[in-house]
Structure 1
Amino acid sequence: MGQALLAYMGILSIVLLILMGMDKSRAKKHEWRIAERTLFTLAIVGGAVGGVLGMYLFRHKTRHNSFAFGFPLLAAIQLFIVVQLWV
């Protein structure tokens, strides 16, 4: 169970990391953006670790309190759940 959950979260994290990079690139070009709701939905359903990495790797959404506090909190909760299931 723990391995499957870890794989699931890993895939979602990679997807969210890529989307954060795409959204940052689009923001710089003043193009159509990825909805914040979409980014948060992916974080909530398991990709928060990738969201945190994307925030700081691309310096994207770091000034938005909902992201700056929400993504790390979600990532901590998700990692806690994985560790509890793993043990």
Structure 2
Amino acid sequence: MSKTGRYNYRRPEKGRNSPTRPERHITVRSVRRDPPDLRKLSRAIIAMALVDAEREKSEAEETAEAAAAQEDTANQKPSQDADHDA
């Protein structure tokens, strides 16, 4: 790894220079259209909004489950029964 934190792309086979997560390269090429294709744009925006909503929903469920688990452990009281047979 270099001083800037980048991995050496020329030596990925050794293993120590490979990143822990896969890199994703996204290429976007535009096509100029007058007027713009509003149907395609709206479908893309709706798809992105649905992905964001699903991610937020799953994060909310995870935090709710964690809070419920923490509340359950807090509500469990140790048994205070005295041993009367002794």
| TM-score band, normalised by shorter chain | 0.3 to 0.5
Looking at both structures, which has the greater relative contact order when contacts are Cα pairs under 8 Å and sequence separation is at least 6? 1
Which TM-score applies when normalising by structure 1? 0.33
Which structure has the highest helix share of the two? 1
TM-score with structure 2 setting the length:
0.33
